[in-house]
Amino acid sequence: MTATPRVIALAAIVTLLRSPVAVAQANPCALLTSAEATRHIARGKPTYNETPEATQMRGGVLCEYPYGGQVGVWNSSNDLEAFLKNFRADKFPRQPVAGVGDRAWIMFPVPENQYKDRVAYIAAYVGQKVVTVVLNAHDGAADGPMGQVCRGDQSRLKPDEREDCKKILNDKSETQESLKPAVIELAKLVVQKVRAGK
């Protein structure tokens, strides 16, 4: 029998499914339940019933959560480093993180412009695999157009709108660094599930 691309792909999938860590590798979106993703990634923001989507990358698979995060599983640190270099994120300072996987580091890449996400990015080593977890900093209403209205002359607003302004002005944007405890907590959960073969 001739090895066509379809046969090779099918053989690769069958081989991947035999390894417990490879199951997560095949689809890291299966690592978190919907409730866990809502709690750890959306963090109180609406999800609008959006579903995560897995994307195959060279040397790994990423699960994109459209409401503010990403989980990835990489075959090796070389695969992760190639990915980071491709996205010009390989030169940002890394800080070691204790208690996550065999070893781990976190970084806060500077966005190229105001339209790029502000993220906390952690990489944790689990044997030969590398688990990555990304959380996007949420923009608060206080820093948007409604915040400008509320910081302006409120005399033209209705009483209920003035009351809403209190909530709006308290909804501040997150900084990348403020995400450190949340991204570490999520990384510990994902590492635990990768180790368990989920």
> Are 34 and 125 within one domain?
yes
Please check whether residues 118 and 75 belong to one and the same domain: yes
pLDDT at 14 over 60: no
Predicted local distance difference test score (pLDDT) of residue 160: 95
- Tell me what pLDDT residue 197 has: 85
The helix (H) or strand (E) run that includes residue 108 is: none
- Can you tell me whether residue 45 is helix, strand or coil? coil
From CA 87, how far away is CA 109, in angstroms rounded?
A: 11
Alpha carbons within 13 angstroms on the beta-carbon side of residue 164 total 10
Beta bridge partners of residue 64, listed in sequence order: 53, 70
Q: Do 178 and 80 fall within a single domain?
A: yes
Mean pLDDT of 33-57: 93
Dist CA 142 CA 148 (whole Å): 7
DSSP element (H, E) containing 171: none
Q: pLDDT, tens digit, for every residue of 144-197?
A: 899 999 999 999 899 999 999 999 999 999 999 999 999 999 999 999 999 988
pLDDT tens, position by position, 52-79: 999 999 999 999 999 999 999 999 999 9
Mean pLDDT of the chain: 86
Instruction: Give the integer Cα–Cα distance in Å for 42 and 52.
Output: 12
35-52 as b/e: b if 16+ CB within 10 A: eebbbbbbbeeebeeeeb
List the CATH number of the domain containing 187. Answer: 3.40.1000
Q: Which domain holds residue 151?
A: 141-170
Q: Does the pTM exceed 0.85?
A: no
**Residues 198 and 33: beta-carbon distance below 8 Å:** no
CB atoms within 10 A of CB 31: 23
- Number of domain units in the chain: 2
* pLDDT tens figures, 87-145: 889 999 999 999 999 999 999 999 988 888 999 999 999 999 999 999 999 988 998 89
Do 162 and 192 fall into the same domain?
no
Query: Can you say whether residue 171 is alpha, beta or left, with left for phi > 0 and alpha for psi between -120 and 50 degrees?
Result: beta
